[in-house]
């Protein structure tokens, strides 16, 4: 509700409620329904998708650093979109397709390179970090070789933003995300069993390799769909599951709590970017906050391992 009220054109609560109920006419209704509501709804559902994706990767790797940001899938989605922007001039649907293809191809490459009689979480993270470094270098090369206007457009899109979203963009992607949420719920039970270890999961009747593949496919789809519309929004997938776990006191990451935390993180970050930081892309805020969170997480993990020793 706050996101619908504040901005360059402040509105009262009555105006917002009237616009949502169809009782408000004129400019106020346009501001709420056509401009601010798609952005606010997009921040909520995209944040939830990133939270669920991060939770699935962290469950898969049994590591708090296991997220699409670290493993390289977000960067791969950006690479796909960047290729379309630079070489095809791309409209919205072309960029979205490039992002999806880039994310999925990166996932296939990481999984293939990490596979050796199965996939271990350590190999997956290490290969993913290496893939991220190579793709970042390739993205920089593409931007350096592109014309100035095209490079600026690619770099701006790469910052990640929910500004300027329209229902024509948000609605179809949201429908696909809801389908991906349903698939995530279906795979959640064997996924949680896999957290006990391969032997224990197999004893419970879980096909470990099939579960890992399903988790990777669904989690990559969630990340790629968000990136296709909003660009690569970093660190929400990394931070949301761990913050949710600490707040709920659960033994492991949970999809519902991670989704709620992801939605909250991205919505608050967008409010800050929109109203306190001269309407900067929300990705600037998430990178700044996420960098601090990553340092804190590494310090906490180091201390915890020191205590265990």
pLDDT at position 11 is: 67
pLDDT at position 16 is: 74
pLDDT at position 209 is: 79
pLDDT at position 79 is: 92
Residue pair 119/137 in contact (Cβ under 8 Å)? The answer is no
Query: DSSP code of 251?
Result: S
pLDDT (tens digit, 0 to 9) for every residue of the chain, 309 residues total? 666 767 666 667 777 777 777 766 777 777 777 778 888 899 999 999 999 999 998 888 888 777 888 888 889 989 998 999 888 877 778 888 888 889 889 988 988 888 777 667 778 888 888 999 999 999 999 999 888 888 888 887 888 888 888 888 899 999 999 999 999 999 988 888 877 777 787 887 778 778 888 888 899 889 888 988 888 898 899 888 988 888 887 767 789 999 999 999 999 988 888 877 667 788 888 888 777 777 777 777 677 766 655
pLDDT at position 118 is: 67
pLDDT at position 10 is: 65
Query: Which CATH class name applies to 2-308?
Result: mainly alpha
pLDDT at position 47 is: 95
d(CA 220, CA 132): 14
User: Under the phi-then-psi rule, with left for phi > 0, alpha for psi from -120 to 50, and beta for the rest, what region is 72?
Assistant: left
Residue pair 210/187 in contact (Cβ under 8 Å)? The answer is no
pLDDT at position 163 is: 83
User: Hey, what are 109's tokens?
Assistant: 């490459």
Helix or strand (DSSP H, E) at 144: helix 121-145
d(CA 94, CA 160): 17
Cβ neighbourhood burial of 175 (10 Å; 0-12, 13-18, 19+): exposed
pLDDT at position 2 is: 64
pLDDT at position 7 is: 67
pLDDT at position 222 is: 92
Q: Is 11 in a helix, a strand, or coil?
A: coil
Residue with tokens 């960029």: 95
């Amino acid at each position: 509700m706050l996101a619908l009220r504040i901005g360059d054109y402040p509105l009262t609560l009555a105006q917002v409620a009237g616009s949502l109920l169809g009782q408000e006419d004129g400019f106020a209704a346009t501001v709420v329904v056509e401009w601010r509501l798609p952005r606010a709804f997009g921040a909520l559902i995209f944040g939830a998708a990133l939270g669920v994706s991060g939770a699935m990767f962290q469950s898969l790797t049994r590591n708090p650093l296991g997220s699409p940001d670290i493993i390289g899938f977000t960067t791969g989605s950006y690479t796909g979109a960047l290729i379309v922007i630079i070489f095809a001039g791309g409209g919205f649907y072309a960029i979205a397709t490039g992002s999806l293809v880039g994310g999925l191809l990166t996932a296939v490459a990481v999984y293939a390179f990490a596979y050796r009689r199965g996939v271990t979480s350590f190999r997956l993270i290490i290969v993913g970090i290496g893939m991220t470094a190579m793709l970042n270098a390739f993205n920089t090369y593409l931007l350096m070789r592109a014309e100035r206007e095209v490079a600026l457009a690619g770099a701006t899109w790469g910052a990640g933003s929910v500004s300027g979203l329209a229902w024509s963009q948000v609605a179809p992607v949201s429908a696909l995300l809801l389908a991906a949420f349903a698939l995530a719920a279906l795979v959640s039970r064997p996924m949680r069993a896999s957290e006990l270890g391969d032997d224990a999961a197999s004893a419970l009747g879980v096909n470990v390799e099939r579960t890992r593949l399903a988790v990777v496919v669904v989690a990559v789809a969630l990340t790629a769909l968000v990136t296709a519309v909003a660009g690569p929004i970093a660190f929400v997938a990394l931070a949301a599951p761990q913050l949710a776990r600490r707040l709920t006191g659960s033994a492991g990451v949970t999809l519902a709590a991670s989704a709620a935390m992801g939605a909250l993180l991205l919505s608050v970050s967008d409010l800050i970017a929109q109203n306190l930081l001269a309407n900067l892309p929300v990705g600037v805020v998430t990178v700044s906050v996420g960098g601090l969170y990553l340092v804190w997480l590494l310090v906490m993990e180091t201390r915890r391992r020191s205590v265990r020793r």
